[in-house]
Structure 1
């Protein structure tokens, strides 16, 4: 008995599709597994995925404890996500962007002054840079389960040229809305044209629109209002196309061509606030972190205000430098006395 040729085997027929939300679930779980010590009151990692053929680009948002080796943990998350997505979904992961949305101070460590992150051989008190978004993959990067002394040292702030542009948003919502509107308008117009070609009368809305446009004057109020709305929508779409978006993500200095890093503005403000409250005489601090300026408002209940402001300037300038931002923001520090009660 001979086999029939020309017939595709059952195992080779059909197509397997994995939904984006399934890949995102795998990535979120992998990120959760990769974090060494997740904060007790922190939210679980979240992931969004863009799948194109057999490749998935992943963006992970998570919260970490503070202080901690943010660079090492983000690298472990990136490697774990890439491994698990490839193993479970069979997809290559050319890009994993890790965004740290919040830092949770550890109660025990914060009470004793925290844990400083130092390089081997560095003087005590030096702090590593903290990359929070990583892209691409590096074949020479050691696995997360290797001992700490076998890993490559974290680059110092003086390395790299520091040139890094802003991160660009995908603009999915405006693009989707515009596509839906244009699709509906094109489909309606195409249907009406086909009906006219089939010797059917044109739709009432098109006849009314043609008659109205023929009778309306260009300086009539409805025409001017419609033109203004259309111009405003066009300018809005042009603005979305020309601006990067993602204003909450501050680009960090680049020391490698295949790695980009960014720091969330909320996390940067938290770091500056924690450094400011360590200054003697500071009772409370509020920090507003912008892309170009960091505004610090402190209340001092003892010591001279000029002395407190001088110490704050020195401490915060060093803290901003240690953030490793590509464009360090200017500092605006104000110190006041607390309001008197009664």
Structure 2
């Protein structure tokens, strides 16, 4: 019998993990597609998903079901160690099926359990800046190493660009304008990389509370804007709504066509606060609502007092 060490190894590519995760997301959300990114290091995998959830539906519960089903199916089919999956809600859409998103291994969360503390912000991996910086550094170091190898092994003359660079540097000191400009640009790039390293990024995403352990969920602010816009648009007398969601404040500007302005403003504020609260954001922003009357808006005329009521009042006096 062949020894286990001589039978070979099975390697699961990142592309296979990504396709399996996307297929598992389709199983949990029938009719929906997902975009996944996967990283495989040995027997351990990391997975991130961008999904579209049906509306209306609880965001935290939907993310929990998708995350749990994708993790279990990916572990089962790949055999890799997948601790968890990061699920990002990229948009909301009207449900295409009459049933809610299902999970084959669905387990109900106890209603009385306390939600674990959600992270303040999701950190971006800074793929584009890292790729650009790595590519430039690799090209420069690779060209220099190749030229040095050719000079010392093949006994060739140094490349013209390296000779020109050495001659230019030997004739220009620290006070030369070209050296100063190059140093300033290098310092700006360094400051930019430091800022990217110490800031989380993903400013358009806000984390939400979940009832499950080891589940981190975030919702795009455009989805919160859509929820608030739909909620405020259902208030009687409102014709147009503009919503802007920031980290600490939600600003709502609504146009009033008819009705009492004070009552409508209170209704708009209540509807916006209810929509924001339903998202279960970790840091719930303040709501500021402004109701602007349309040019043709007229204040409601008080209802006339019936003559019988006036007569009754006079008799009582």
* TM-score bracket relative to the smaller structure: 0.7 to 0.9
Instruction: Identify the residue that residue 87 of structure 2 maps to in structure 1.
Output: 98
- How big is each residue's C-alpha offset from its partner over 1:175-208, in whole Å with a ceiling of 9 and x where there is no partner? 1222222122222222333344445432222221
Structure 2 CA distance, aligned partners of 1:108 and 1:89?
Answer: 30
1:241 aligns with 2:197: yes
Q: Secondary structure at the match of 1:328?
A: coil
- How big is each residue's C-alpha offset from its partner over 1:26-81, in whole Å with a ceiling of 9 and x where there is no partner? 11111011125x4xxxx522211111111222112111221124333322222221
Q: Secondary structure at the match of 1:286?
A: strand
- How big is each residue's C-alpha offset from its partner over 1:224-281, in whole Å with a ceiling of 9 and x where there is no partner? 2222221222122111111111112102236666332222211111111122122222
Instruction: Identify the residue that residue 82 of structure 1 maps to in structure 2.
Output: 71
Instruction: Identify the residue that residue 301 of structure 2 maps to in structure 1.
Output: none
- 52, 69, 79: which one pairs with 1:63? 52
TM-score by length of 1: 0.75
1:213-228 aligned within 5 A: 213-228=169-184
Residue 10 and residue 151 in structure 1: after superposition, are their counterparts in 2 closer, same or farther (change >3 A)? Answer: closer
1:152 aligns with 2:109: yes
Q: How many residues align?
A: 294
List runs of 5+ in structure 1 lacking aligned partners. Answer: 110-116, 118-142
- 22, 35, 40: which one pairs with 2:29? 35
1:192 aligns with 2:147: yes
Instruction: Identify the residue that residue 305 of structure 2 maps to in structure 1.
Output: none
Q: Which has the larger radius of gyration?
A: 2
1:12 aligns with 2:7: yes
How many angstroms does 1:163 deviate by?
5.8
How many angstroms does 1:108 deviate by?
11
List runs of 5+ in structure 2 lacking aligned partners. Answer: 297-317
- 155, 180, 183: which one pairs with 2:138? 183
Structure 2 CA distance, aligned partners of 1:106 and 1:200?
Answer: 69
1:164 aligns with 2:119: yes
How many angstroms does 1:154 deviate by?
4.8
What RMSD over aligned residues (CA atoms) do the two structures have, in Å? 3.1
Structure 2 CA distance, aligned partners of 1:32 and 1:257?
Answer: 23
Contact kept, 8 Å, 1:164 with 1:254, in 2: the verdict is no
Structure 2 CA distance, aligned partners of 1:155 and 1:272?
Answer: 28
Structure 2 CA distance, aligned partners of 1:205 and 1:105?
Answer: 60
- How big is each residue's C-alpha offset from its partner over 1:97-133, in whole Å with a ceiling of 9 and x where there is no partner? 1222222245999xxxxxxx9xxxxxxxxxxxxxxxx
How many angstroms does 1:319 deviate by?
2.8
Instruction: Identify the residue that residue 321 of structure 1 maps to in structure 2.
Output: 277
Contact kept, 8 Å, 2:87 with 2:216, in 1: the verdict is no
Contact kept, 8 Å, 1:26 with 1:85, in 2: the verdict is yes
Residue 171 and residue 108 in structure 1: after superposition, are their counterparts in 2 closer, same or farther (change >3 A)? Answer: closer
TM-score by length of 2: 0.81
Instruction: Identify the residue that residue 129 of structure 1 maps to in structure 2.
Output: none
Residue 108 and residue 207 in structure 1: after superposition, are their counterparts in 2 closer, same or farther (change >3 A)? Answer: closer
Structure 2 CA distance, aligned partners of 1:163 and 1:56?
Answer: 22
Structure 2 CA distance, aligned partners of 1:163 and 1:107?
Answer: 30
Residue 108 and residue 215 in structure 1: after superposition, are their counterparts in 2 closer, same or farther (change >3 A)? Answer: closer
Structure 2 CA distance, aligned partners of 1:94 and 1:281?
Answer: 50
How many angstroms does 1:12 deviate by?
0.5
Residue 154 and residue 267 in structure 1: after superposition, are their counterparts in 2 closer, same or farther (change >3 A)? Answer: farther
1:24 aligns with 2:13: no
Structure 2 CA distance, aligned partners of 1:177 and 1:280?
Answer: 52
Q: Secondary structure at the match of 1:23?
A: helix
